[in-house]
Structure 1
């Protein structure tokens, strides 16, 4: 992707994607002990809450800073709110948003919204090539920081975990570089010369 290696002058490249749904889980309280010292057996009752939460994320690859937002749905209205957050966070220059070709990203209402915000330009990645979006790599780090091993009682806790993990990851952010660096060259220890 040429936008990653040679972005236009004065432009900001942001990789955007949605993560989710993150679903709150409820567990019953642990069974206690009876007065005579026997464990009270309780039927296991595990359920997933009805509220799903989606996490919208945008990675600014020039400095590695992330903008996240939680929403109760993945639709055009919330995507436009997220684009507005991206525009507010990048007050100058054009903004190139690298994203997948999801229906909410390319809907009529989103295209109409983009006409009144000419600084934002969409760059759609090919279908089936999600690995081209650098946001996917950031999601992997985010899952470890915010979601791994956690049980959330509701969307408010998911939002709090998202904000906390984003601020912690932004505190140690570095520019994201497309591709791998060249492997180090190793000098041979000894050279043998064979004469025949």
Structure 2
């Protein structure tokens, strides 16, 4: 995501652990392989055990030569790319909608530091009330009858 004021842009990187709903965010001045690799390092530090499956889009920085080389040195991280035009398969999209409402909607930011602060505060707030993310629509509630008739013979 990009949020800018004037010629400066701030990019927000984010990862969602669907098992418990915890998220990691990072702001950057550019959307390139170096910042993406720095973000992957944060993801790896936040998940100390087991393999990490990163489901991502086909952005060039996600599949660049330097990123592939970096991933060879970090074998726990596995990249899975979403098919083109199927962003609805990514559970992160629902979290981004919630994050934008919490951190960015209706606000005016003076500089990058304000965006970084809003991102950090919103991530902490959302992580405090996180719950597992489930793909799909929740089941409809069962309808209760308003009146029950009892027939006596």
- Normalising by structure 2, we get a TM-score of 0.92
Tell me the equivalent position of 1:144: 101
Q: RMSD of the TM alignment (CA)?
A: 1.4
**In structure 1, distance between residues paired with 2:78 and 2:104:** 31
| 3-state SS of 1:104 partner | helix
Tell me the equivalent position of 2:13: 56
Alignment of 1:79 with 2:36, yes or no, is yes
Choose the corresponding residue for 2:86, options 116, 129, 151. Answer: 129
**In structure 2, distance between residues paired with 1:71 and 1:187:** 51
Number of aligned positions between the proteins = 148
Unaligned residue ranges in structure 1 (runs of 5+): 1-18, 25-48, 192-196
| Alpha-carbon distance change, 187 to 163 in structure 1, aligned in 2, over 3 angstroms | closer
* Deviation, structure 1 residue 181: 2.6
- Normalising by structure 1, we get a TM-score of 0.72
Choose the corresponding residue for 1:92, options 32, 39, 49. Answer: 49
> Between Structure 1 and Structure 2, whose CA radius of gyration is higher?
1
* Deviation, structure 1 residue 187: 5.6
Tell me the equivalent position of 1:114: 71
